[in-house]
Amino acid sequence: MAGLTENDVARMRDQLFFEGPQRSRRLSRFWLLLLLAAVIAAAGIVSDSTATVIGAMIVAPLMTPILGVVLAVVLMDMANLRRCLWLLVAGAGSVVAVGWAVGLLVPYPVVAATSTQVASRITPRLVDLAAALATGAVGSVALARSDISDTLPGVAIAISLVPPLAVVGLTLEAGHAHQALGAFLLFATNVAAILASGVVVMALYHVSRASTDVTTRAVRRWGATGIIVVFLAVVIVPLWANSDTVDRTTTRQAGVGAVAEEWVNPAGWTVVGVTAKGDRVLVDVTGPKPPPELRRFRTYLDAAGLGQLDVRVSMVISHYSPVPN
């Protein structure tokens, strides 16, 4: 890729750094949009509205300081690096606080059991990291090339930053620290991905050549890049564990569900749900008398290679009575 000119780097600095005579105006805009986005995201999660959450993603300006960290690392601009890091940390904390405050106003706990928006953000996997890396790369390329900057709204929707933080606040207020930790892991994954892919894209565009080529500056740049790599490696470990757990759970649910269908269909029964929790799988079935034999279900499970699982069945006999005139 061809390197960027000094004018390109100046344009990028103007987009990402909070400096110069417009600093106060840009900071006020950042905080105004961020707090409003936090309220929108929290409201969307409480109401379980995907459209509202997407609106918060578009409004939220949190990607600006993250990409600012990337550019500051590449240029080794320590003043702007510290400023962008502070905005990132303070901004993230503010969104969590807004989520907590909104949770206080809701008469029921906003957790995975009551909101699909929460449930979809508390168990990030490696596939989420892969998507975040690609999305972060697109955002960095759009920043470097003004001719494709119109893709940034799509990047804002694809990368989830404010909604997971709102989930952290809501679930902490509800007393579900484990779910809050999972949501924060999703946020940290997306931040790590943006930083890592952004540094790579900036290197491909030779942005560092715009800074003074001094040995100490190069050493600091490599040190900062190393920290980003370590950050990325740290989030991969729990993501890997989550992926393994989710994959095993999904496989067990699908396998037992298929066997359960084979077992109940001849008796005219229906499988209502299958839930896997570790080595235990809970199966809910319903139908008319007589119920299917549980011993036959065990035979089917053994034949399918699922005999090692602790499968428990809830059988509800359905009975319909005529409504009197």
**CA 284 – CA 304 distance, rounded (Å):** 19
**Strand residue runs (E) in 172-216:** none
Label residue 216 by pLDDT band (50, 70, 90). Answer: very low
- 9 pLDDT more than 90: no
**CA 275 – CA 282 distance, rounded (Å):** 5
Label residue 154 by pLDDT band (50, 70, 90). Answer: low
Place of tokens 């417009």: 22
Residue 77: the pLDDT is 85
**CA 225 – CA 223 distance, rounded (Å):** 5
Residue 149: the pLDDT is 61
Half-sphere exposure of 180 (CA within 13 A, CB side): 18
Query: What secondary structure letter does DSSP report for 150?
Result: G
Place of tokens 């090339």: 145
- Residue of 211, 64, 81, 210 lying closest to 139 (CA atoms): 64
Label residue 224 by pLDDT band (50, 70, 90). Answer: confident
- The mean pLDDT of 245-269, rounded to a whole number, is 91
Residue 152: the pLDDT is 62
**CA 153 – CA 315 distance, rounded (Å):** 49
Label residue 319 by pLDDT band (50, 70, 90). Answer: confident
- The mean pLDDT of 51-71, rounded to a whole number, is 91
Label residue 197 by pLDDT band (50, 70, 90). Answer: very high
Sheet hosting strand 270-277, strand order edge to edge = 270-277, 280-287, 310-317
- 211 pLDDT more than 80: no
- 147 pLDDT more than 80: no
Other CB atoms within 10 A of residue 74 CB: 25
Min mean pLDDT across 44-48, 99-103, 151-155 is at 151-155
Label residue 164 by pLDDT band (50, 70, 90). Answer: very high
- The mean pLDDT of 243-256, rounded to a whole number, is 88
The CA angle 216-217-223, to the nearest 5 degrees, is: 90
**CA 190 – CA 180 distance, rounded (Å):** 16
Summary mean pLDDT of the chain? 88
**CA 260 – CA 208 distance, rounded (Å):** 60
Query: What secondary structure letter does DSSP report for 160?
Result: -
* pTM (two decimals): 0.83
Q: How far apart are the first and last CA of the chain?
A: 80
Label residue 43 by pLDDT band (50, 70, 90). Answer: very high
**CA 85 – CA 98 distance, rounded (Å):** 20
pLDDT digits (tens, 9 = 90+) for 275-310: 888 778 999 999 998 899 999 999 999 999 988 889
Beta bridge partners of 273: 284
Query: What secondary structure letter does DSSP report for 197?
Result: H
Label residue 323 by pLDDT band (50, 70, 90). Answer: confident
